[in-house]
Amino acid sequence: MTPRWDLLLTHATLATLDGEQPFGLIKDGALACANGRIAWVGRMSDLPSAASAVRTENLAGKLLTPGLIDCHTHLVFAGNRVREFDMRLNGASYEDIARAGGGIASSVAAVRAASEEELLQQSLPRARALLRDGVTTLEIKSGYGLDLANEGKMLRVARRLGETVGVGVRTTYLAAHALPPEFTDHADGYIDAVIAWLPQLHAAGLVDAVDAFCEGIGFSPAQTRRVFEVARALGIPVKLHADQLSDLGGAALVAEFNGLSADHIEYTRDDGVRAMAAHGTVAVLLPGAFHLLRETKLPPIAQLREHGVAMAVATDCNPGTSPLLSLRQAMQLACTHFRMTPEEALQGTTVHAAKALGLADRGALCTGMRADLVAWNVAHPAELCYWLGGDLAAQVIVAGQPSL
């Protein structure tokens, strides 16, 4: 039977991320989409002669990659924290700002004061900026509401962002992000509340994963474990802000629960890396926060490579420590600060980022995958990490439909 496709892209340089060649590169390649999926991919010389499509487009050598996946964001928030940026440059530390009532607490106040519609309207430009930069799937966390009503509000806005902008969205429940003012000095009581809210929000279809901030200024490993045990009982996957400022064994803890990912991990020791490798937990590296906080402690990149731990890269887009609206810029920072290779960085924002979200249907250019694609105004994938800034995405396609 002669193929009849919805879309056929021809004469492209394909970075399939699914081959033996670096980047899975295919020069002068073609890719076809049907019913929102990749229906055919290969060299132009192998394209079936009788194949046809409703729409055919000659990419004239442009690079075609899978759609980028931003697997760690706090995209839904109100206001900004530019004053704290100034404070840090005048010597205040992350801990100083948090203990003085700034940091997350100021974002909580802003989110609580905003209506759902106001929160949506403030967050839409950020989602659209990431789409323009080639992002077709987003993870969005709660964690600036810190009560049932406002955590629910954030998660509903995250769902609406996906529908409005036309990108895939995975929502993460992060109520164990910080201690709200009404629970001052009662962290265990707040964890009781976090645990009580989770089944309600999950039943409403708002929770794809559960996260926590396991840190000296956040929550202890024992408190984190309590949240994870409830998530496991509900069948919800977990991930963790782990070992960003100190090593409390967070990476090993989330791996113990077969967690999707351990994120930040600057202070993770070798035993934590080994635990991640044993349980298939992805390391999500967040160079935007590393850069803005002027951190000097590098994630254990060599150990991650040695033990075969998949490395993802994300923006960590948030108002306080990573106001980053370009996943491609995060890739560049990962190469510059962490010495990742351009191939590792691209894998980190595609195939490994998909794994960090538990998504097996995207992240590479191969048949059957969701047709999330980006055509770039460059000729080689390393250029995505080479150029500092610039508008490189020529066309963004989500589930076979043009979005940009």
Determine if residue 74 is labeled as part of a ligand binding site.
Answer: yes
Determine if residue 318 is labeled as part of a ligand binding site.
Answer: yes
CA distance 208 to 188: 24
- Secondary structure (DSSP) of 235-264: T--BEEEESSSS-SSHHHHHHHTT-SEEEE
Determine if residue 177 is labeled as part of a ligand binding site.
Answer: yes
Determine if residue 137 is labeled as part of a ligand binding site.
Answer: no
Determine if residue 244 is labeled as part of a ligand binding site.
Answer: yes
| Strand-pair partners of 13 | 63
Q: How many residues does the chain have?
A: 404
CA distance 171 to 156: 9
What's the per-residue H, E or C state across 325-389? CCHHHHHHHHHHHHCCCHHHHHHHCCHHHHHHCCCCCCCCCCCCCECCEEEECCCCCCHHHHCCC
CA distance 15 to 302: 25
Determine if residue 10 is labeled as part of a ligand binding site.
Answer: no
Task: Tell which phi-psi region holds residue 394, choosing left (phi > 0), alpha (psi between -120 and 50) or beta.
Answer: alpha
Determine if residue 186 is labeled as part of a ligand binding site.
Answer: no
Determine if residue 72 is labeled as part of a ligand binding site.
Answer: yes
Contact criterion met (CB below 8 Å) for 376 and 392: yes
Determine if residue 337 is labeled as part of a ligand binding site.
Answer: no
For the annotated binding site for 4-imidazolone-5-propanoate, the residues are 81, 144, 177, 244, 321
The binding site for N-formimidoyl-L-glutamate comprises 144, 318, 320
Residues within the annotated binding site for Zn(2+)?
72, 74, 241, 316
Binding-site residues for Fe(3+) = 72, 74, 241, 316
Binding residues, as ranges, are: 72, 74, 81, 144, 177, 241, 244, 316, 318, 320-321
